[in-house]
Chains A and B, each alone.
Chain A
Amino acid sequence: MKPVGEVCAVVNTLEFLAKVKFCARCWSCMVGSAQVSGLLRKLTRGEGVPEDFQLLGLLSFGMKETARCKGGKEAAGVLADLLSSEEYVAHVENRRCPQRSCSGLTTYRVVAERCAMCGLCKQVCPEGAVLGEEYLPYLADNVPYTISAEKCTKCGLCLPVCAENAIELV
């Protein structure tokens, strides 16, 4: 597991697109780059479908061929690099974000072995996604802490409160 914090290549590309200087007078940049961002964002949300990956390929080819300014061609290059990177393949094929920076491709989980059953995460969770009960001694049927994938919005609030580092992202 990679350390949390460093962003993945997909998010990196998104950030690059937001910063790059386009002349913004041809369709490649005006609409093409917006479509790229749209598709990549969809991917980070975990909603990517196989056709999107095709479209991204088309955009990378098309923008390189047709963009009018240097910015556009550069963006096309960055996109092409992304598409051939291992990380991207992980995103698409394994539906996983190795950097855990794409919320849609990440799951929050309580590692039972480390959990001290203090219940702090349950207290901070605004979504009520943490299930389980505080540990009471001599009670045999206590309920361990787990995170409901349906409810969890991946906001990350529970991470810092856990003294045992028992919440992990996969």
Chain B
Amino acid sequence: MSELVRLQIDGQEVAVPKGVTIIEAAARIQIDIPHLCHLNGLVPSSACRLCLVELEGTKDLVVSCARGVREGMVVWTRTERVLAARRFVLELIWSAHPGDCTTCEKSGRCELQKYTYEVGIERNRFPLRRDEQPIDTTNPLIERNPSLCILCGRCVRICRMRNGNNVFDFVSRGITTRVTTAFEKPLQESGCTFCGSCVSVCPVGSLVERQRRFRGREWELKTTETVCPYCGGGCKLLLDTTKDQIVRARTEKKDDYLCVRGKFGWDYALSKERLKTPLIKKEGTLEECSWDEALSSIAKRLAKIKETRGPEALGGLVSANYPSETLYLFGKFVRAGLGTNNLDSSVRLLSWPTLSGFIQAFGRMDVVATLSEIEAADTLLVLDSEVAVKNPMVGVKVRKALKTPKKGAEGANLITIDSRKTTVAGLSHLHLQPRPGTATVLLDGMIKVILSEGLYDQEFVAANCSNFQEFSARFLEMELDVEAITGVAEEAVLAAGRLYAGQGQKAVIIFSPETSDRHMVARIINLLLLTGRVNGGVFPSLLHSNLWGAAEVGVVSEFYPGYRPVEAATARKELENLWGVSLPSEPGLSAIEMIQAAAESIFGMYILGENPVASFPDKASMVRGLAALDFLVVQDIFLTETAQLADVVLPGVSFAESSGTFTNAEGRVQELNRVLPSQTKPDWEIIAEISTRMGYPLSYHSEREIAAELKTLVSEFSGPRNSAFRLVLTEAEEISAEPDREYPYRLMIGATLFGFGDGSWTRRSEISRLETPYIGMSPQDVQSLGVVAGTRVLVSSRRGRITTTIKVDESLPAGLVFMPAHHPEGNSLTSASLDPVTKSPRFELAAASIDRLQESEPESQCAGDRSLLNLNQTSGIAKWN
């Protein structure tokens, strides 16, 4: 705690830390000094002059939002003089304000309205008005009404601070001053990421969410706190609703952050395309049917397969976007009800090498850093990860870490290892750009530096890593020409190794589990062990909202809840006792294996919320497999590509209609609360009912009951910490196909800001209008191919071909092309080769060729291509990478 300063405000004594402003000090003793341009967390701008107060010993009134406290200050906030000045400022602001409160969305929450009313300004007495300006509706998410702007500059400052963007600025002078974009361009062409922060901080109705226009007044709204379903960041989301509608998403404090998906992406839950009734396939087409017909048909047909072919002919697959309670119940249903360990989830594809690797290496997951630990770190090592796009919240924390003073430094050191020039790479002190697919070798290079220069934490290693000597000897023997393989200069690797290993420094590695295979994870673990950072030393930026939870509650084939191995007899006994059945002892198949085994050993599948046709690699083989099943049930909220292949489709609920918990990427368990009444039945109820009909009763009354049962099995961060750690030596395999004459490019598929998962949610949200399906290419490649942004092209790999549109992406190096993971057809190009240990698809960069589309060539079906903006307009959002 820094030293306290004592002062007097309106006769009250207050002691506050040094560096605090008068307005903040006053707030601590519940004295609210009116203010418009000031907002906690933003640099003061002293623009509005509303917060003036009288300070004894000073002739002029002082700006309380900018003046720091001093010992012995005597401040008066409500003297005649102050009140007169305040009234003057408000009257002046009001003189230039249209004051159309009747239809203004901010009415009721507007700060100008509040103060004007408080001061009692009846009408505008001044003669001059500002010219009315047209309302800007050129983007789908944020409506700007410049006539209402009071020039407080909060939007300018928050955008700059948070995104490093200069989307808005002041132009012109005097009464014609405006806050606007450069050259009055639409937001999407001004580098805006649509985080909506500016909307949240705007004190008036100048910036509002378009989604809410005329759908509910402030005082009619009910607020429910829940969690954003869109990434492992797990931001707290306050949803404001009228009876059956979400009107707006917001944060608790005005200056808290949400990204575009959290702020604007909830509208898919209200989509007209939501499934409302069960569907059953009759003569090849899906028809609406009653719940009873659907459920009894499912129970009957699954039971029949179980009877004739054995329980191991069935399989269950679930998406990690459901609350842990639903996931747990699904796992229990599959293992105990259906009687098979063929149970898996999207965890397998998106984070299994990481989560299983960590639990094996450390025993406990507290090796993972919290978001505030990222902010406080001395050094950040960001690996192959466009965090600012995947977990935008983490991107904000990284930016904050750079500005948070550390001992002996103004901010954190940032090292980025990425072949792309990502946003984070642009902020880095050290950016190593290995050839695509060679980051693992680069990490080996860093490990070598740490070993050969003796930079490891000798005490920790001696005490905890039993095989250090052996590891070190073997590692140093290994031939390793990092520069030749990765193309990164030796000095840069040296510098990175030294910077990262810095003794006594807190360092956090941030990486992407969905692109990190077993070998990459092994190297990360080695780095953590060598530097003794086994407590909060790493942050896996998890793509989906409940990947951590899904692994923890045991919806992966080899683990029961709480990472109890299925093979372990003791664990099985424990679960058999709790669940009251005998459980199969043979291990189950993983997600992709199940579909690959369709019609050979798997004949019936129950898929909850997952969409393998779109989001699993090698689309063609997924379609083949799922179509070959005797019976397929899909439970989802939309008729996804996978649901279209189903025999029975059950309508589930969206996050807004669900309760339960999500565990985010820091391992924090957070409550998801029901915001809207269910449009159909809660997912867990559907599962319970089917199980009951199949003779294994699951009778719960609420998610809470399930949660209570789950609590007996899963503890925070799982298990005790391992007593000794082992450094792992694995030989990374180069699996990505080398580009050749026929397929000269390497194709990377990854996340973008405006899409999510299989795209089935975002495609039905307004946010998708900001991004059309595309393939990103470096400026060099675009030039040598002779195409321009917007050219239609045919992308082919050894697996398949699709058509899409070129976008110039300056973050890419030549030879690497990028496609959003939610591109509806993207997985036609990828292959599903599995790692033998983790059974996850190996992350590979497919070799691809790109050709200008000839007129005669038929376009492939692009289900997601429903953009309303043409490409020229969207190309301005090229900032995400």
Q: Which of A25, A38, A39, A65 contacts B88 (CB 8 A)?
A: A65
In the complex, number of A-B residue pairs with CB atoms less than 8 Å apart: 83
Judge whether B49 and A30 touch: CB under 8 Å.
Answer: no
User: Which residues of the other chain, A, contact B704 by a CB distance below 8 angstroms?
Assistant: none
Q: How large is the interface on B (under 10, 10 to 19, 20 to 34, 35 or more residues)?
A: 20 to 34
Judge whether A62 and B174 touch: CB under 8 Å.
Answer: no
Judge whether A27 and B92 touch: CB under 8 Å.
Answer: yes
Judge whether A31 and B96 touch: CB under 8 Å.
Answer: yes
Residue of A nearest to B48 (CB): A27
User: Which residues of the other chain, A, contact B151 by a CB distance below 8 angstroms?
Assistant: 27, 30
Given the known A-B contacts A34-B174, A34-B175, are A62 and B89 also in contact in the complex, defined by CB atoms under 8 Å?
yes
User: Which residues of the other chain, A, contact B91 by a CB distance below 8 angstroms?
Assistant: 58
Whole-angstrom CA separation of A61 from B85 in the bound complex: 8
Q: Which of A32, A38, A61, A66 contacts B52 (CB 8 A)?
A: A66
Residue of A nearest to B150 (CB): A27
Whole-angstrom CA separation of A95 from B45 in the bound complex: 43
Given the known A-B contacts A65-B52, A66-B52, A68-B46, are A30 and B174 also in contact in the complex, defined by CB atoms under 8 Å?
yes
Tell me, yes or no, whether B20 is within 8 Å of chain A by CB: no
Judge whether B128 and A66 touch: CB under 8 Å.
Answer: no
Judge whether B49 and A35 touch: CB under 8 Å.
Answer: no
Tell me, yes or no, whether A44 is within 8 Å of chain B by CB: no
Whole-angstrom CA separation of A33 from B130 in the bound complex: 13
Interface size of A in residues (CB-CB distance below 8 Å): 27
Tell me, yes or no, whether A114 is within 8 Å of chain B by CB: no
A103 vs chain B, min Cβ distance (A): 18
Q: Which of B61, B92, B125 contacts A32 (CB 8 A)?
A: B92
Judge whether B85 and A66 touch: CB under 8 Å.
Answer: yes
B41-65 CB mask vs A (1 if < 8 Å, else 0) is: 0000111110010000000110100
Tell me, yes or no, whether A101 is within 8 Å of chain B by CB: no
Q: Which of A26, A27, A38 contacts B127 (CB 8 A)?
A: A38
Tell me, yes or no, whether A106 is within 8 Å of chain B by CB: no
Tell me, yes or no, whether A120 is within 8 Å of chain B by CB: no
Task: Give A1-43 interface residues, CB cut-off 8 Å to B.
Answer: 22, 24-35, 38-39, 42
Judge whether B61 and A65 touch: CB under 8 Å.
Answer: yes
Task: Give A58-74 interface residues, CB cut-off 8 Å to B.
Answer: 58-59, 61-62, 65-68
Tell me, yes or no, whether B429 is within 8 Å of chain A by CB: no
User: Which residues of the other chain, A, contact B95 by a CB distance below 8 angstroms?
Assistant: 31, 35
Judge whether B93 and A27 touch: CB under 8 Å.
Answer: yes
Given the known A-B contacts A34-B174, A62-B85, A65-B52, are A28 and B92 also in contact in the complex, defined by CB atoms under 8 Å?
yes
Tell me, yes or no, whether B126 is within 8 Å of chain A by CB: yes
Whole-angstrom CA separation of A115 from B65 in the bound complex: 68
Judge whether B46 and A33 touch: CB under 8 Å.
Answer: no
Tell me, yes or no, whether B272 is within 8 Å of chain A by CB: no
User: Which residues of the other chain, A, contact B170 by a CB distance below 8 angstroms?
Assistant: 25
Judge whether B125 and A51 touch: CB under 8 Å.
Answer: yes
Q: Which of A55, A61, A65, A67 contacts B125 (CB 8 A)?
A: A55
Tell me, yes or no, whether B81 is within 8 Å of chain A by CB: yes
Judge whether A61 and B126 touch: CB under 8 Å.
Answer: no
Tell me, yes or no, whether B177 is within 8 Å of chain A by CB: yes
A15 vs chain B, min Cβ distance (A): 16
Q: Which of A25, A52, A65 contacts B85 (CB 8 A)?
A: A65
Tell me, yes or no, whether B701 is within 8 Å of chain A by CB: no
A46-60 CB mask vs B (1 if < 8 Å, else 0) is: 000001100100110
Highest count of chain B CB atoms <10 Å: which of A34, A38, A55: A34
Task: Give B58-115 interface residues, CB cut-off 8 Å to A.
Answer: 60-61, 63, 81, 84-85, 88-89, 91-93, 95-96
User: Which residues of the other chain, B, contact A52 by a CB distance below 8 angstroms?
Assistant: 127
A51 vs chain B, min Cβ distance (A): 7
Judge whether A62 and B92 touch: CB under 8 Å.
Answer: yes
Whole-angstrom CA separation of A61 from B88 in the bound complex: 9
A126 vs chain B, min Cβ distance (A): 29
User: Which residues of the other chain, B, contact A22 by a CB distance below 8 angstroms?
Assistant: 173-174
Cross-chain pairs A/B with CB under 8 angstroms, 9 sampled: A26-B49, A27-B49, A27-B89, A27-B92, A27-B151, A30-B175, A31-B92, A31-B96, A55-B126
List the 3 closest pairs (A to B, CB-CB), nearest first. Answer: A62-B88, A34-B175, A38-B128
